[in-house]
Amino acid sequence: MKIQDNYSLRQHNTFGIEACASRFVEYNSVEELQEFICQRKQADDVSPLLHIGGGSNLLFLNDFQGTVLHSCIQDITVTADENDYVYVRVGSGITWDDWVQYAVDSHWYGLENLSLIPGEVGASAVQNIGAYGAEAKDVIIFVDTIDLQTGEIRHFTAEECQYAYRHSIFKTELRGRYAVTYVHFRLSHSFRPHLEYGGLRAAIVKLGIEDYNLTAEQLRNIIIDIRREKLPAPAVLGNAGSFFMNPVVPRTTFERISKDYPDAPHYDVDDDHVKIPAGWMIEQCGWKGRTLGHAGVYEKQALVLVNHGGATGKEISDLCTTIQADVEAKFGICIHPEVNFI
């Protein structure tokens, strides 16, 4: 276990925001985390706790006056292998895309569409990450956690996690209560590509690949290329990926918008609801490529807010608020950040 005081968090948030934690604790096992919680109870320490992953979904507005926890649990274990499925327990501190690559290399399928999403495995179970028609909830069967108040182990089934679009119980009523230590996945030995989202099929056709010849590695590489084209590398330009969630609106709302914008992109959710890309609405409001102070909207993808260098969390927050107001004024729709403000 590593413990450091007055610790800079700049390398622990992909926006590259300068912020400091009163204390930073990195643990390598469930036992080390339980030991920390026991020591904290014995010392009657009631200062705030914040558990982070790779910091790809965080915006620090101020220094954190408390303890920041980070998992370094790195092991991958097959717990069962039966019929067409393999069941794998994955440490929360593993980089998400490393886990996707490991699964593809092992011929375990179901994660390909989630390639190159930033962050760590533990955060995937909290955020219910998603891309190209797939979500983490599609392959998560249960989640191992530690109660940060008592140190007790608790297992959550996928149903108990209450997964929905970019949502879990860990973001609402249990926010800040549990630390994810392991995530259990069910993956398939059979590759069944999902290509009906985000221009994947068009990209495959452009490469001259027939669906029946497509491999998981090829699909992963295609998705990586698409994401790199749309999203800046955080090491080059600080960002948290998609900043806003795509709103799901009543079909009547979309029909109203489509009268003025006949080519408005959308995805049918069900008979009564439609998902509209937030990035498209932001672009229609003229924000693509614009800046506000040291913060701005990425020139290639309006869903991404960026730190052009030296931006504070407040500058990015102010940009977010201004964009929200413009989108609501133009379309009558409230868009909400996917990023957590700390």
pLDDT tens digits, the chain, 342 residues: what are they? 899 999 999 999 999 999 999 999 999 999 999 999 999 999 998 899 999 988 888 999 999 999 999 999 999 999 999 999 999 999 999 999 999 999 999 999 999 999 999 889 999 999 999 988 899 999 999 999 999 999 999 999 999 999 998 889 999 899 999 999 999 999 999 999 988 876 788 888 888 887 778 999 999 999 999 888 888 888 889 998 889 999 999 999 999 999 999 999 998 889 999 999 999 999 999 999 999 999 999 999 999 999 999 999 999 999 999 999 999 999 999 999 989 899
CATH architecture of 76-188: 2-Layer Sandwich (3.30)
What is the per-residue pLDDT for 7?
A: 96
- Annotated catalytic residue: which of 166, 177, 186, 251? 166
CA distance linking residue 121 with residue 188, whole number of Å: 18
CATH architecture of 238-341: Alpha-Beta Complex (3.90)
338 catalytic, yes or no? yes
Q: Go through 241-266 and write b for each residue having 16 or more CB atoms within 10 A of its CB, e for each that does not.
A: bbbbbbbebeeebbeebeeeeeebeb
Q: What is the third-level CATH fold of 2-71?
A: 3.30.43
Burial class for 46, CB neighbours closer than 10 Å (0-12, 13-18, 19+): exposed
What is the per-residue pLDDT for 212?
A: 77
Residue 44: which residues within 8 A CB-CB, separation 6 or more?
Answer: none
- Annotated catalytic residue: which of 120, 135, 315, 338? 338
What is the per-residue pLDDT for 198?
A: 63
Collapsing DSSP to helix, strand or coil, 293 comes out as: coil
- Each domain of the chain, given as residue ranges in start order, spans 2-71, 76-188, 238-341
What is the per-residue pLDDT for 106?
A: 97
- C-alpha 172 chain-centroid distance: 16
CA distance linking residue 155 with residue 29, whole number of Å: 16
CA distance linking residue 249 with residue 223, whole number of Å: 27
What is the per-residue pLDDT for 166?
A: 83
242 catalytic, yes or no? yes
Answer whether 76-188 and 238-341 agree in fold: no
pTM metric for this prediction:
0.85
DSSP-derived secondary structure letter, 116: T
- Annotated catalytic residue: which of 112, 115, 242, 315? 242
120 catalytic, yes or no? no
What is the per-residue pLDDT for 324?
A: 98
What is the per-residue pLDDT for 195?
A: 87
Residue carrying structure tokens 């955060």: 123
What is the per-residue pLDDT for 53?
A: 87
Q: Sign of the CA dihedral 91, 93, 94, 97? A: positive
CA angle 116, 120, 122 (to 5 degrees): 135
What is the per-residue pLDDT for 341?
A: 92
Phi/psi of residue 122, each to 5°?
Answer: -60, -40
